[in-house]
Structure 1
Amino acid sequence: MPQPVLGILTLYLNNAKQLEEQSVYRRMIIEGHRMGLDVFVFTPADVHTSKEQIHALVYDPNTGKWSRKWRAFPNMIYDRCRIQRSERFQQLLRFRSRYNHLTFLNRPLRNKWTVHQTFSQKPRFRQHLPETLLYNSSADLLKMLKQHQVIYLKPANGTGGRGILRIERLKGTRSVFDIQGRRLDRRIITPRKVSQSRLEGIVRQWCIGGRFLVQQGIPLRLSSGRFHDYRMLVQKNGNGVWELTGMAGRVGAARSVTSNLHGGGHAVRAEILLKQWLGSEEKTEKVMKTAEKLGLEAAAFLEDSFGALCELALDLAIDREGSIYVLEVNPKPAREVFARSGDSSTYRKALVRPLEYALWMYKNKTTPSSAKTTEE
């Protein structure tokens, strides 16, 4: 029986052909080698359509070196491509369309607004969603500010905490607001107080060139003044079944309104941070069990709605009462939150599970469902 082949599909970050997660792919290739799975890395730019071959990046665990080799198309494709504003992303869309018949472990999700609307259809998930509107005009902004003291403005297609604005109505006032946030390049903007009319102008300017959501703010400020949330990773295991891989806490950098690690935040084991936040081990255990059930049901529901998935990260806000809110979901999750929290066994599990699932698919000749929606 020939050795199964998995191709990791990714995008170059720039014209120098740099890869953001090359060290992760190296680990996955080494783990795949031990399991009897041949793994290589490629981008749409490496595909030679007339030859129907790929000029792939391969790593040799014996020599510890990367090289290029011409390879046939793999048995399965593990899509790690994130949204870019570049021609490279347009190449990706063309690749997905042309080779839609191939076996993908995972298909792309839609934007945050579509995912929010999809979740909203089910009462099971509705209770775990912060109130959210698609920003069309100042009326949407003012409506949310009347109902909530704190709101967030976030891009519908953003990642990594970019382009997020936090707006808080100052206590004792009706029309004075504190704003702070991060620009699209992740730079922190200086917090400042503004009037309502000035705020409306700032938000209009902020939203030029993209679609933004206005979302209810959940109280997440720690006693240190920093904001925190929780990253939960659910993945399909070696039997094709959804399972919780792990959960970690993220604490944002000073002056940051988000907790993203790329923005200077740090990771903490979830049970430690949650116990500090909720005040008891009993509450912590109960919330973590509820979060796990929610994550597994959410992954299955989104797969039914949009097409094949092999993993999903949920960013969760948990308030002082232990109520859980899904801030957003990420079908192309990073894993470093577990390494940074000191949980090396969960980090390894997060790397290995997609490989185990790929082997299960190959042995069972199972083809996941194709994408059910057009891409953003």
Structure 2
Amino acid sequence: MKHKFIRSKMKKGKPLLNDRILSRHVPVTHWYHDSTLTRMLRTYPVLYIKPDNGSAGTGIIRVKRLNRSKCLISYKTMSKVCSNRNTVFEVVKRMRRGKKYIIQQGISLATYRNRPFDLWIVLQKPSKRWLLTWMSAKVAPRSNSIVTNVAKGARDARIKEILRGADQPLNVPRVLGKLSDVSYQIARKLGSRFSFRILGLDMGIDKKGKVWFIEANTKPNFHGLKKLDPIQFRRYLRAKKRIKASR
């Protein structure tokens, strides 16, 4: 079975949103429409608008409700306060014409030294079963960072170090167990729909310790990770070799 590459965030997220169990771990997500932005802002204090085919955190817009009349629009390294009636205009101004966007409920990610972090999980399928071969964390460069992508200045770190040092008290063994369990469920679900042999999952932990799915990558990048954890990296390479041999 040949591995399939899929770039669309919605295409990879839809099967999870439609799953009764896994949907509990997926932020509410819709195709972007001006009316959807207005409606979702009444329910969620933070929203993310993302290019459906984007990568490395490029083009993401964050909208934060400040009060009943004002919002904070953040894009790249700049932020702007605007009135609610101008929110749609300010968002559309930052979107690339002709691109499809999704709009997603924002998650209040756990923080490490006052900086949000998320988790990078890689699963591979060298034979009939998925194997979890990599777990690490990505810590944002600033407390107000929009994304936690390494390409945007975040740093890779060992997962236990970050979970143990989080600003919020987390039950680390419980979080790791739940993270592993949900990641395997996601891989099996997506693997039953598409011919995937490897999946890189961006996963989040909120301030209460709940596990969230953020995004799936069908061509995960391991640049710079060999030095972070050579043992895990060798495990990844062994699975990669087996996948290549099975083609």
For normalisation by structure 2, the TM-score amounts to: 0.91
Q: What per-residue deviation string (whole Å, max 9, x for no partner) do you get for residues 210-235 of structure 1?
A: 11111111112626443211111111
Contact 1:220 1:228 in 2 (8 A): yes
Which residue of the partner structure matches residue 216 of structure 2?
Answer: 329
| Of 273, 280, 287, the match for 2:162 | 273
* Aligned with residue 20 of structure 2, among 102, 123, 139: 123
- The match for 2:48 among 140, 152, 157 is 152
Aligned to 1:315: 202
Matched residue SS, 1:201? helix
Aligned partners of 1:202, 1:139: CA distance in 2, in Å?
14
Aligned-residue CA RMSD in angstroms? 1.9
Q: Does the CA-based 8 Å contact 1:130-1:326 persist in structure 2?
A: yes
1:296-311 alignment to 2 at 5 Å?
Answer: 296-306=184-194, 308-311=195-198
SS in 2 for 1:231: strand
* Separation in 1, partners of 2:84, 2:110: 24
Distance 1:339 1:210 in 2: 35
Determine helix, strand or coil for the equivalent of 1:286.
Answer: helix
* C-alpha contact 2:73 2:79 (8 A) present in aligned 1: yes
1:84-103 correspondence runs (5 A) = none
Q: Distance in 2 between matches of 1:328 and 1:319?
A: 15
Equivalent residue in structure 2 for 1:209, among 85, 92, 98: 98
Please state if 1:243 is matched with 2:131.
Answer: yes
Q: Offset of 1:110 from its aligned partner? A: 5.5
Q: Could you say which structure has the greater relative contact order, defined with CA pairs below 8 angstroms and 6 or more residues apart?
A: 2
| Offset at residue 344 of structure 1 (A) | 1.5
The SS at the match of 2:181 is helix
Q: 2:149 aligns with which of 246, 257, 260?
A: 260
1:165 corresponds to which residue? 61
1:113 to 7, 10, 14: 10
> Secondary structure, in 3 states, of the residue corresponding to 2:196?
coil
Distance in 1 between residues matched to 2:240 and 2:224, nearest whole Å = 17
The separation in 2 between residues aligned to 1:352 and 1:305, in whole angstroms, is 25
Asked whether the equivalents of residues 227 and 257 of structure 1 are also in contact (C-alpha less than 8 Å), the reply is no
Residues 24-76 of structure 1: per-residue CA shift (max 9 Å, x gap): xxxxxxxxxxxxxxxxxxxxxxxxxxxxxxxxxxxxxxxxxxxxxxxxxxxxx
* Contact kept in structure 1, 2:110 and 2:206, CA below 8 Å: no
2:87 counterpart of 1:199: yes
Residues in 1 aligned to 2:23 and 2:56: alpha-carbon distance in whole angstroms? 24
- Cα distance in 2, alignment partners of residues 180 and 192 from structure 1: 6
- Higher CA-based Rg: 1
Structure 1: gaps spanning 5 or more residues: 1-102, 183-187, 363-376
The CA distance in 2 between the partners of 1:291 and 1:245, in whole Å, is 13
CA contact (8 A) 2:121 2:135 kept: yes
CA distance in 2, matches of 1:310, 1:223: 32
Describe the shift of the 1:305–1:260 C-alpha distance in structure 2 as closer, same or farther (beyond 3 A): same
What SS does the aligned partner of 2:225 have?
helix
Instruction: Measure the CA separation in 1 of the matches of 2:90 and 2:224.
Output: 33
Distance in 1 (CA, whole Å) between partners of 2:149 and 2:14 is 24
Instruction: Assess if the C-alpha contact under 8 Å between 2:136 and 2:159 holds in 1.
Output: yes
Task: Using the TM superposition, give the Cα deviation of residue 194 of structure 1 relative to its aligned residue in structure 2, in angstroms.
Answer: 1.2
SS of the counterpart of 2:207? Answer: coil
- SS of equivalent residue, structure 2 residue 208: coil
Q: Specify the code of the residue in structure 1 equivalent to 2:186.
A: A
1:176: Cα distance to partner? 0.8
Letter in 1 for 2:116: F
The TM-score with structure 1 as length reference comes to 0.61
> How many angstroms apart in 2 are the aligned matches of 1:113 and 1:295?
18
Give the C-alpha shift of residue 279 in structure 1.
2.2
